Structure 1
Amino acid sequence: MTSDTAPSASPSPGPEPVSVPSPAPRLGAGPLGIGLRSLAAIAILVVANLAVVPFTAVLSAVPGLRELGSELSWATLGIYACLGSVMWGTAVLLAWLWVRFVERRRLADIGLRFTPSSALWLLLATLAAMGVVLGTAAVLPSTGPAPSPEQVAEQGPFLMVLLMMLIPAFLVQGFPEELLFRGMLLSAMRSRPVLAVAVATLSFTIIHLVSNGWQQTLGDRFLFLVMPFGFSLFATALLVWTRSLWAAVGVHGGMHLGTNFSQLLPPTDPALSWTVAGVVFAVLGVAILAVLLKRGRGIPDGAERWR
């Protein structure tokens, strides 16, 4: 016995969703575009540093505040944190303007997003960078005894001293500089990873010619570049490996923290320890990048691939 019931018609499929391609950047990938992007990253960093000048001028003009800045206190920490926030905010604002209107992308596309794993990568990369700096300082020949507990205590309460190290390491230097060079600049050339690594690393290294440290001669200034060159490569390697900009921030901040904590160890020749640590960073960075790039693991190219 057959049924007179007609088979039900299957629902007609709806229209296929149309994917809208991302708008092309206003700058090309040629030498001009690369050069302008490098100059933009450097210029934003310079402007961010200059943004605090009016505030420091006001603080210097007020007698009570001028004396306050010469001693470690909670008020001093608050002032430094506010100044660091001005620089941080300026860098983020200018980076957003560049990414939005020149690259036609979002800050999330260059790595500025926080996920559950971001804090982990930040912490692990910080510890890794500290380990390189402290390990180098520990194995090099010392030039004298380690500071005594009394000398260490003279620096102030541990929490205050730690915060005074964290503010410049991350708020003033680590985060803004990594956002610009390992985020904005590196990701803009993500289709050519080797070139991107080279340009971002060299641009970041060059700005440190004007950094102040142990340099006394012109040769010292160029020798000083070994460290930023090295940890720039290491930061890039961890970024590519972890897919997290926060790993690069951790390397940057960890380098500064390691340098500060190395003062608890027997002193070494500053130029030697600085240079050797930079070489170690460079070797590790190149080795990791070589393996990753050979396996086809390039630079993250969108928010969905950042962690």
Structure 2
Amino acid sequence: MTHPRSAHPWSSRPRMPLILRLVIVGAGALVIWLAIASLGTVLWDEEMSLARHLANALSAFVLAGLLVVVARKLLDRRPVATLGLTRGLVAVRDLLYGALTWLLPAAVGLGVALGAGWLQIEINATVAETIGVVLLLIVLVFVYEAFPEELVFRGYIYRNLTTAMAPWLAILAQALIFAAFGTTLWVVTHGWGVLLERLVMFFGMAVVAGCIRLISGSIWSAVGFHLAFQVVMQMFLSGQYLEVSLSDDRAFIVATAVVAFATAATIAGAFWRGQPNWTRPEPDTALPAAHATSRRLSKSDVAAVRRSRR
């Protein structure tokens, strides 16, 4: 008779201590994005053409996905879906709600800024061209940044941290790791002048995304939040695919990003009702409810889970 520990990966012990697994995945993610940036510079110089953007996005999506899958299955000995990857219509709902936690307050803040005359915006493109750019950015940001980064940080790293500490503390810890990751990338590619600005921005974003991830229980909510934030910022501030004139960049950032960061977690609480766990560690020894509801369990699955809880 097969012992449940060998038949069900969620009841097996990880192959190495938590800190080593976090270092491997965190350092691996940094190496992946640095390698992509370096290779892109070799192939396309410093220009961020559409071809380079697409190549970078696909590389990050595939390599970061493989990193998490391999680490979760071989090092953690757990199913990848237990990182918070809800499925089907639930995943679509979580993604849309996550995007709305950023878009709703940002739209209100932007409307107030425009109405009060603090900000003027001019888009030098037709409606069709603007819609095309928005759709393009949604795809690029999802593949290059939102999904792979959330899978690594609010998925793998956050879930592993919650096995050893209170979830609220895990949010802060993963935010520090994400801030170090993102700031390092920007310092390497843009110099030390961006250090403080990027450190604060990445930490703040990661805290809010972590709160949304905790409240919803789903990675997709954090992906939606990340996606909305990056699409709007790149559309209005980068000038790469759309010519946009802003009277005051800082006023735009405050009216949208700062307002959204300050209120997104509260809005998430309205979208996902319930009593989220902020204080108790969540041992990774049984199949989480989010995963159990995403697929049908066989009788042997249920029996193995019950045995692992004894």
Report if TM-score (shorter chain) is over 0.5.
yes
Which residue does the alignment assign to 1:46?
A: 30
In structure 2, give the amino acid aligned to 1:281. Answer: F
Q: In the alignment, is residue 24 of structure 1 matched against residue 13 of structure 2?
A: yes
8 Å CA contact 2:105, 2:264 repeated in 1: no
What is the total number of aligned residue pairs between the two structures?
271
8 Å CA contact 2:213, 2:222 repeated in 1: yes
- Segments of structure 1 that go 5 or more residues without pairing to the other structure are 1-14, 71-75
SS of corresponding position for 1:225: helix
Q: Distance between the aligned counterparts of 1:189 and 1:268, measured in 2?
A: 40
- What is the deviation of 1:220? 5.4
Deviations 1:122-166 (A, max 9, x none): 112112212344444444576663215xx134x982344123312
Bigger relative contact order, structure 1 or 2 (CA pairs below 8 A, ≥6 apart): 2
Normalised by the length of structure 1, the TM-score is 0.69
Aligned 1:85-100 pairs, distance under 5 A: 85-100=58-73
Aligned 1:227-306 pairs, distance under 5 A: 227-262=201-236, 266-270=246-250, 273=253, 277-278=257-258, 280-281=260-261, 284-285=264-265, 292-293=276-277, 302=287, 304-306=289-291
- What is the deviation of 1:232? 1.8
In structure 2, give the amino acid aligned to 1:236. Answer: G
- What is the deviation of 1:38? 3.9
Q: In the alignment, is residue 145 of structure 1 matched against residue 129 of structure 2?
A: no
Deviations 1:59-100 (A, max 9, x none): 539xxxx99x75xxxxx46x6434412221111111122112
**Radius of gyration: which is bigger?**
1
Superposed CA RMSD in Å reads 4.2
Q: 2:84 aligns with which of 111, 122, 125?
A: 111
8 Å CA contact 1:233, 1:282 repeated in 2: no
Which residue does the alignment assign to 1:197?
A: 171
More helix by share: 2
Which residue does the alignment assign to 1:4?
A: none
Q: Distance between the aligned counterparts of 1:278 and 1:223, measured in 2?
A: 13
- Segments of structure 2 that go 5 or more residues without pairing to the other structure are 238-243, 270-274, 295-310
1:220/1:233 Cα in 2 relative to 1: closer, same or farther (>3 Å)? same
Q: 2:151 aligns with which of 179, 183, 186?
A: 179
8 Å CA contact 2:171, 2:210 repeated in 1: yes
Q: Distance between the aligned counterparts of 1:226 and 1:58, measured in 2?
A: 30
8 Å CA contact 1:108, 1:303 repeated in 2: no
8 Å CA contact 1:229, 1:278 repeated in 2: no
- What is the deviation of 1:253? 0.8
1:269/1:204 Cα in 2 relative to 1: closer, same or farther (>3 Å)? same
Which residue does the alignment assign to 1:73?
A: none
- What is the deviation of 1:277? 3.0
Which residue does the alignment assign to 1:167?
A: 139
Q: 1:60 aligns with which of 30, 39, 44?
A: 44
Which residue does the alignment assign to 1:208?
A: 182
- What is the deviation of 1:186? 0.8
SS of corresponding position for 1:147: strand
Q: 1:121 aligns with which of 90, 94, 111?
A: 94
Aligned 1:3-22 pairs, distance under 5 A: 19-20=4-5, 22=11
SS of corresponding position for 1:152: coil
Which residue does the alignment assign to 1:225?
A: 199
Q: Distance between the aligned counterparts of 2:249 and 2:38, measured in 1?
A: 37
Q: Distance between the aligned counterparts of 2:280 and 2:267, measured in 1?
A: 15
